[in-house]
Structure 1
Amino acid sequence: MDQTLIDQLSEWHEADEHQRIVDTLLTIPEEERNYDAVSRLARAYNNLERYEEALAQFAFIAEPGQQDPLWHYRVGYALYYMGRYEEAVKAFGVADKLEPGDSDTLWLLKSSLRRAEKQRKHERRIAAKRAAALKNQGPDEDKVPFSGMSLSDFWEDSYYAREEYVNDPPTDELIASIEEELGYKLPASYIALMRQQNGGAPKNTCFPTEEATSWAEDHIAITSIMGIGREKSYSLCGDTGSQFMIDEWGYPDIGVVICDCPSAGHDVVMLDYRACGPDGEPEVIHVDQESDYEITFLADDFETFIRGLVSEEEFDTSEEDKEADLHRVATGEFSPLLKELCAQVTEVDQLPQKIRHICTQIVEEKGHFSFHADPLSYLMYDVQFWLYTKSYPDTGRQQYLDIYPKMIAFGGEFSQGGYAPGWITDWLDQRIGEGRIVQDHGRLRFTDQATAELIQQLETA
């Protein structure tokens, strides 16, 4: 490929115009595509989430790719997002041996190892349940749901819950029609609970977990349990019910969404029918959209899940967490990248102190150090973007999204210890929509007016 085409492909990559890369490279006869062309084509397929096609291209250059860490990394990337975690571990492992210490490789390697173990646990559960079924050791059909458990004090009574969640008691006809629409037989324990009250917010909203999730290190939280019906939005077949979450939010089509969570759609609790089939007794799982729909096992069945719900007070470490985060933002050392970027600024006096002051306000307001969609978080998104694009003016969208976690999200001592990529892309899309950030030949930058307004905000911070 000539240098003009290479430059054009690089510009399209930075501008997230991956289909143009594919269309252009496919015009080159297959036998004339060199290693770089095939590698760029496969990377574009990866970025378009067409992972099978990406792997097919990587296979064409497998022999010369054996000594290329990027080849192994990109193969691992495709395998990871296809859910083939065992294979992804091997690919990322080779990439790390060829180029030790790359932060992206190490993060995906660690995540692949964790998810591969989850897959193995799920497969063991399926095997055990199938073996039990063969021995007729399945659930007792005559068992009375919630025997010995009082449900009289289970639900939180509030106007909001009654208006948004609680349906009329379900009839046998309604239950049958909902099951037909969903394509799954609902658990007897779920139906029993809905006959007691058809949907709502329970008093106990937390469920302990053995593994960390996007919500917490040791538990998940729910907002409500969806009722059997169609009239209320938050019911199984309501406007924002199970099928909506699968069709519009991309949750896996493996069962029924039964609980929404405090993240407002970014994680849910589902009935998982993969091991039992549509007429069996489903497991209960947590699905995390922000972690590529990662699945965490919660309970063998719905009744076990309900019995296991506990009060949020059992996990309340808010005061200790707040004090720790206040200390972190006041004294934690900036990441090397953030220190480098701050050192280039002459427009704002004492910028590091101002950053610490804004982040202290965030912790005081939220009780913890994290950025979401509030005004102070958006100010910090703006600050980081301005700092980086001021020092690196050729930055494109994907380049910025890739570098973002190295400033504060995973910044060492002065760090949030993680972040949800969706918040960053939402912020970026909003700023572009407002006209505050513009794209110029694939490069992103604040407008002069937006920069001036940001500097003024910082001067008064």
Structure 2
Amino acid sequence: MEQELSAQIMQWHEEEEHQQIVDTLMKIPSVVRDYDMISSMGRAYNNLSLYDKALEQFALIAEQGKNDPLWYFRVGYSYYYMKRYEDAAGVLSTALELDPGDQHSARLLDWSQSKWKKQQNAESRYRLSQQQKDQGAIPFEGMDLDSFWEDSNYAREQYVSDPPTDELISSIEEELGYKLPAAYIALMKHQNGGIPQHTSFPTDEATSWAEDHIAITGIMGIGRDKSYSICGDLGSPFMIEEWGYPDIGVVICDCPSAGHDVVMLDYRHCGKDGEPSVIHVDQEDDYEITFLAPDFETFIRGLVSDEEYDTSEEDKENDLRKVAVGKFSPLLTELCGHASEVDGLASKIRSVCTRIVQEKGHFSFHADERSHLMYDVQFWLYTNAFPTTSRQQYLDTYDQMIAFGGEFGQGGYAPGFISDWLDGRIGEGLIVQENGVLRFTDEARSAVIAKLSAEAEAAQALAAAEETKDMS
């Protein structure tokens, strides 16, 4: 590929103009496209989430790419986001064999292997449950359904409808395209939607909600009138069509995340007229699926009180210790070393993060004001040390500062919060982009430093006041 075209494609890549890359390379006759052109087109398709098209391009250069670790990484990337985790693990292993120091391949391989194992476990549990199922059992036999539901004004207003008629059930099934489970219909005929007394369900795998369980807000009833009924304004069709949840079944429970995870009936194994399993779908993790129960009744019987998982005080104390004394990541340590104009920088960062934990009860950044300050601080530090930073470079490196920062780290983050913050700062004119390079304006940079100092002083004063109060 010509040097000028290569430089232009790299600039478009950093500016996330991926369709421009495809359009430009498509104008070049296919017989003239070389290895780098085809590889760049495949990468662009990956970044456009057109993974099938990406794999078509990579297949054209498979022979040439057999000794290129980057070819294997890009193919593995396609497989991973197509949820073909076994295939992803295979090619990413080869990428690491060719380049053992490739951290991107190592991380994606670890994720692929973890999710492949999770898929295998879910399928094994589903098959075993089908073998053990008693087909003649009466739904909820021996269970006290009268004490199952919480009675509240909110539940009655948002969830509970009149018991469904057979005609309504048939019309809802026709609209959804799925036969509803007999146990679900039986429960809804007892009470049509609502909030159960117990709203937690144990899991073997971690999700965005917790390490060992998920939580639900309520169970959607059969109907259209209430917002939280399966065909209501916020029901299953809405969550699939507007929120992008997979079209593999029916959303039956909303969760406390306000749309960022749901519980669904999963018809992939049984067909549209069969007995679906119950799954948790996590939008925050690219719609990751976690198997919960082989059928609806097992799910309902497995709900437990959220008090069993109330570790909030312990978690808060652990996170307060983390932000007070946890070792900074190597990258954050390096960046602080470049910012010599700010006295006591590390202490200021710890003070603001302590305030965040005190207010939230845990160490995490979201879309609130102090989180935005910490996004600003990290961006200032990084671009101060690396002044030619592109958008993609920053987003790719962000997690190495605090999100996955080891002792002084959060153990995860939602990429959408970072990209939304960055787009917001660019829209406000506080961050400018010139020739693909991002930086704060001088005024914005000074404002971030001043705000960090002010917030740190306020946090330290509050801590001193609390200490004095405890001693009195």
Relative to the length of structure 1, the TM-score reads 0.94
SS of equivalent residue, structure 1 residue 152:
helix
State the alpha-carbon separation in 1 of the partners of residues 431 and 169 from structure 2.
51
- Counterpart in 2 of 1:60? 60
The CA deviation string for residues 384-427 of structure 1, in whole angstroms up to 9 with x for no partner, is: 11211222232222221110100001112111111122222232
Does the Cα contact within 8 Å between 1:348 and 1:458 map onto a contact in 2?
A: no
State the alpha-carbon separation in 2 of the partners of residues 425 and 222 from structure 1.
28
Question: Is the counterpart of residue 29 in structure 1 residue 29 in structure 2?
Answer: yes
SS of equivalent residue, structure 1 residue 30:
coil
State the alpha-carbon separation in 1 of the partners of residues 103 and 321 from structure 2.
26
State the alpha-carbon separation in 1 of the partners of residues 161 and 76 from structure 2.
47
CA separation of 1:459 and 1:85: change in aligned 2, threshold 3 A? same
Which is worse superposed, 117-126 or 389-398?
Answer: 117-126
Aligned with 2:404 (options 394, 400, 410): 410
- Counterpart in 1 of 2:108? 108
- Counterpart in 1 of 2:355? 361
Aligned with 1:162 (options 139, 144, 156): 156
Which is worse superposed, 365-374 or 264-273?
Answer: 365-374
State the alpha-carbon separation in 1 of the partners of residues 195 and 326 from structure 2.
39
Aligned with 2:135 (options 113, 137, 140): 140
Does the Cα contact within 8 Å between 2:372 and 2:421 map onto a contact in 1?
A: yes
Aligned with 2:313 (options 319, 328, 350): 319
CA offset at residue 4 of structure 1?
1.9
Structure 1 regions of 5+ residues with no counterpart? none
SS of equivalent residue, structure 2 residue 195:
coil
State the alpha-carbon separation in 1 of the partners of residues 152 and 443 from structure 2.
47
- Counterpart in 2 of 1:152? 146
Aligned with 2:415 (options 398, 421, 431): 421
Does the Cα contact within 8 Å between 1:349 and 1:459 map onto a contact in 2?
A: no
- Counterpart in 2 of 1:456? 450
State the alpha-carbon separation in 2 of the partners of residues 195 and 348 from structure 1.
65
State the alpha-carbon separation in 1 of the partners of residues 259 and 272 from structure 2.
24
State the alpha-carbon separation in 1 of the partners of residues 420 and 305 from structure 2.
32
State the alpha-carbon separation in 1 of the partners of residues 217 and 123 from structure 2.
30
Please show how residues 53-202 of structure 1 align to structure 2 within 5 Å.
Answer: 53-124=53-124, 140=135, 143-202=137-196
Q: Which amino acid aligns with 1:24?
A: T
The CA deviation string for residues 275-301 of structure 1, in whole angstroms up to 9 with x for no partner, is: 111111110001111211111110011
CA offset at residue 435 of structure 1?
3.3
State the alpha-carbon separation in 2 of the partners of residues 370 and 277 from structure 1.
40
State the alpha-carbon separation in 1 of the partners of residues 424 and 172 from structure 2.
38
SS of equivalent residue, structure 1 residue 191:
helix
CA offset at residue 51 of structure 1?
1.1
CA offset at residue 121 of structure 1?
3.5
Which is worse superposed, 32-41 or 443-452?
Answer: 443-452
CA offset at residue 346 of structure 1?
3.8
CA offset at residue 182 of structure 1?
0.5
State the alpha-carbon separation in 1 of the partners of residues 284 and 69 from structure 2.
27
CA offset at residue 262 of structure 1?
1.4
Could you tell me the percent identity over the aligned residues?
Answer: 67
State the alpha-carbon separation in 2 of the partners of residues 258 and 90 from structure 1.
36
The CA deviation string for residues 197-238 of structure 1, in whole angstroms up to 9 with x for no partner, is: 222222211100111111111111111111111122221111
Over the aligned positions, Cα root-mean-square deviation in angstroms equals: 1.9
The CA deviation string for residues 90-110 of structure 1, in whole angstroms up to 9 with x for no partner, is: 111111122224332222111
SS of equivalent residue, structure 1 residue 175:
helix
State the alpha-carbon separation in 2 of the partners of residues 395 and 256 from structure 1.
44
Moved over 6 A (4+): none
Question: Is the counterpart of residue 296 in structure 1 residue 299 in structure 2?
Answer: no
State the alpha-carbon separation in 2 of the partners of residues 311 and 418 from structure 1.
26
Does the Cα contact within 8 Å between 2:373 and 2:452 map onto a contact in 1?
A: no
State the alpha-carbon separation in 2 of the partners of residues 72 and 456 from structure 1.
46
Does the Cα contact within 8 Å between 2:126 and 2:294 map onto a contact in 1?
A: no
CA offset at residue 36 of structure 1?
1.6
Does the Cα contact within 8 Å between 1:347 and 1:455 map onto a contact in 2?
A: no
The CA deviation string for residues 351-374 of structure 1, in whole angstroms up to 9 with x for no partner, is: 111110111111111111111122
CA offset at residue 438 of structure 1?
3.2
Does the Cα contact within 8 Å between 1:129 and 1:275 map onto a contact in 2?
A: no
Q: Which amino acid aligns with 1:253?
A: D
- Counterpart in 1 of 2:379? 385
- Counterpart in 2 of 1:246? 240
Does the Cα contact within 8 Å between 2:129 and 2:294 map onto a contact in 1?
A: no
State the alpha-carbon separation in 2 of the partners of residues 44 and 126 from structure 1.
37
State the alpha-carbon separation in 2 of the partners of residues 119 and 319 from structure 1.
33
SS of equivalent residue, structure 1 residue 62:
coil
Aligned with 2:323 (options 298, 313, 329): 329
Aligned residues: 455
State the alpha-carbon separation in 1 of the partners of residues 133 and 310 from structure 2.
37
SS of equivalent residue, structure 2 residue 243:
coil
State the alpha-carbon separation in 1 of the partners of residues 133 and 96 from structure 2.
45
State the alpha-carbon separation in 1 of the partners of residues 319 and 398 from structure 2.
20
State the alpha-carbon separation in 2 of the partners of residues 202 and 184 from structure 1.
24
CA offset at residue 73 of structure 1?
0.6
- Counterpart in 1 of 2:16? 16
State the alpha-carbon separation in 2 of the partners of residues 438 and 422 from structure 1.
20
CA separation of 1:444 and 1:238: change in aligned 2, threshold 3 A? farther
Does the Cα contact within 8 Å between 2:378 and 2:401 map onto a contact in 1?
A: yes
State the alpha-carbon separation in 1 of the partners of residues 122 and 164 from structure 2.
33
